[in-house]
Amino acid sequence: MRLLVTADLHHNHRASRPLAEDLIDRLNADAAAGDAVLVVGDTAAGDGDDLERCLGRFRVDGPRLFVAGNHELWTAGPDSHALFARDLPRRVRAAGWHWLEEDPIVISPGVAVAGTVGWYDYAFALPQLGIPRRFYEHKVSPAAADRFAEFAHLLDRTDDISPAGREVAARWNDGRHVRLHRSDELFLAERLAALDRDLMALGERADVRSVIVGVHHVPFTELMPPKPPPTAVTSRAFAGAFLGSPAIGELLLRHPKVDRVFCGHSHLAADATVGNVRAVNIGSGYRWKTYHAVDVG
Contact 22, 54 (CB under 8 A): no
pLDDT at 230: 64
Could you tell me the residue ranges of all domains in the chain?
2-295
Distance CA 28, CA 109 (A): 23
Instruction: Please give the single-letter amino acid code of residue 199.
Output: L
Q: Could you tell me where the DSSP H helices lie in the chain?
A: 17-30, 50-55, 80-82, 88-94, 133-138, 142-145, 163-166, 174-177, 184-203, 235-239, 246-253
Would you say residue 234 has pLDDT above 90? no
User: Across all residues in the chain, what is the average pLDDT?
Assistant: 96
Q: How far is CA 6 from CA 74, 217, 230, 281, in A?
A: 20, 13, 33, 10
pLDDT band, very low/low/confident/very high, at 258 (cuts 50, 70, 90): very high
pLDDT band, very low/low/confident/very high, at 1 (cuts 50, 70, 90): very high
Task: List pLDDT tens digits, range 39-98.
Answer: 999 999 999 999 999 999 999 999 999 999 999 999 999 999 999 999 999 999 999 999
Task: List pLDDT tens digits, range 4-28.
Answer: 999 999 999 999 999 999 999 999 9
- Span 235-260, mean pLDDT? 96
Burial of 22 (0-12, 13-18, 19+ CB in 10 A): exposed
Q: Which residues pair with 265 in a beta bridge?
A: none
Of 157-171, 197-211, 231-245, the least confident = 231-245
- Span 246-268, mean pLDDT? 98
- Span 127-131, mean pLDDT? 92
Would you say residue 297 has pLDDT above 80? no
pLDDT band, very low/low/confident/very high, at 231 (cuts 50, 70, 90): low
Other CB atoms within a 10 A radius of the CB of residue 110 amount to 15
Q: Which residues pair with 112 in a beta bridge?
A: 106, 211
Would you say residue 34 has pLDDT above 80? yes
- From 69, 84, 88, select the one nearest 10 (Cα to Cα): 69
pLDDT at 232: 65
pLDDT at 227: 80
- Span 160-177, mean pLDDT? 94
Domain 2-295 CATH (choose: 3.60.21.10, 3.10.50.40, 3.90.550.10, 3.40.50.620): 3.60.21.10
pLDDT band, very low/low/confident/very high, at 229 (cuts 50, 70, 90): confident
pLDDT band, very low/low/confident/very high, at 180 (cuts 50, 70, 90): very high
Q: How far is CA 165 from CA 82, 140, 282, in A?
A: 35, 11, 31
